[in-house]
């Protein structure tokens, strides 16, 4: 789907997990501790990984200059860091917000945890992640909503229904 619209998908979480596993990473242990505690990794680390991935993608193909950044920004610090680092280099077209009830999210993550190998797919980490979301991330979504940049998807629906709604948004946004 993203390729059809010319987007490259970058997951902040995947970049952090990959960096955590990378031999010789100066950030590996730090990232692991933040993830396990359901806390947000310091913005400098996340932005440096995102920027590196964006630069590498565009260096390989200059036409690939549209990115869907998954899971970022997660708090005010992330947003300020993004604005400071990427000002004049990247514009946020819209925020794709998958709105889902906490109980459904927890159930899905616990199910995923049976095979994901993720250190944060457990009840304790999930409760911390929900607290972090409500305290830190929801205000960022609200901010973008006031700017008219949020495109909301009811993620409690079936995979097919969610996908159809996402297709409609990308058809409209390009």
**86-130 tens-digit pLDDT:** 999 899 999 999 999 999 999 999 999 999 988 889 999 999 999
One fold for both 1-92 and 95-173?
A: yes
Give the angle 138-148-128 at the CA atoms, nearest 5°. 10
CATH class of 95-173: alpha beta
pLDDT of residue 46: 94
pTM of the model: 0.83
66, two tokens: 């549209």
Residue extents of the structural domains in the chain: 1-92, 95-173
pLDDT of 2: 82
For all residues of the chain together, what is the average pLDDT?
93
Task: Round to whole Å and give the CA distance between 25 and 32.
Answer: 12
Does 3.90.1170.10 match the CATH number of domain 1-92?
no
**Whether 154 contacts 105, CB under 8 Å:** no
pLDDT of res. 150 = 98
């Amino acid at each position: 789907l993203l390729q059809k619209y010319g987007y490259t998908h970058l997951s902040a979480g995947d970049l952090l997990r990959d960096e955590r596993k990378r031999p010789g990473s100066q950030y590996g242990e730090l990232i692991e501790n933040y993830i396990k505690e359901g806390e947000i990794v310091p913005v400098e680390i996340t932005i440096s990984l995102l920027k590196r991935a964006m630069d590498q993608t565009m260096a390989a193909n200059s036409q690939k200059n549209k990115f869907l950044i998954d899971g970022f920004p997660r708090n005010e610090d992330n947003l300020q860091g993004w604005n400071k680092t990427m000002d004049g280099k990247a514009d946020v077209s819209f925020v794709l917000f998958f709105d889902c009830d906490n109980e459904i999210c927890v159930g899905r993550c616990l199910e995923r945890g049976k095979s994901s190998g993720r250190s944060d797919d457990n009840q304790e980490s999930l409760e911390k992640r929900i607290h972090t979301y409500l305290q830190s991330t929801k205000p960022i979504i609200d901010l973008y909503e006031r700017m008219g940049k949020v495109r909301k998807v009811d993620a409690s629906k079936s995979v097919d229904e969610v996908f159809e709604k996402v297709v409609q948004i990308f058809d409209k946004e390009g």
